[in-house]
């Protein structure tokens, strides 16, 4: 019987993807996420997105960990997805970066 319950989240995820894909404007997606997720859940997702975008700018993992207060494990996962994850994910990150100006990584002072 346990196997049956593993299928439900996959079906629900598919339905969720369809619902999000039907939204046309960022405001609609924001309202949808506000209704569906708790504030901490939204914060975790937004933070995960920010770390992936910072990785894509070339910022070092340790600098991101310090800046965002995240573990290196979470950052390493994001890095792996940028390198080997779905092509559409990587394109979404690249498109986001091209539309938004992220601060460049800070250069260390020469001693």
C-alpha separations of 102 from 23, 46, 59, 105, 107 in Å: 26, 15, 11, 9, 15
Can you give the pLDDT at residue 7? 72
Each residue's pLDDT tens digit in the chain (111 positions)? 455 666 788 899 999 999 999 999 999 999 999 999 999 999 999 999 999 999 999 999 999 999 999 999 989 999 999 999 999 999 999 999 998 766 555 555 554
Can you give the pLDDT at residue 111? 46
């Amino acid at each position: 019987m346990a196997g049956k319950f593993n299928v439900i989240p996959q079906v629900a995820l598919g339905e969720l993807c369809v619902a999000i894909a039907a939204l046309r404007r960022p405001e609609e997606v924001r309202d949808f996420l506000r209704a569906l997720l708790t504030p901490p859940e939204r914060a975790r997702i937004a933070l995960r997105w920010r770390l992936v975008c910072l990785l894509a700018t070339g910022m070092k993992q340790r600098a991101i960990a310090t800046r965002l207060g995240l573990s290196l494990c979470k950052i390493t996962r994001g890095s792996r997805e940028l390198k080997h994850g779905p092509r559409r994910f990587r394109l979404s990150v690249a498109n986001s970066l091209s539309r938004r100006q992220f601060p460049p990584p800070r250069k260390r002072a020469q001693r």
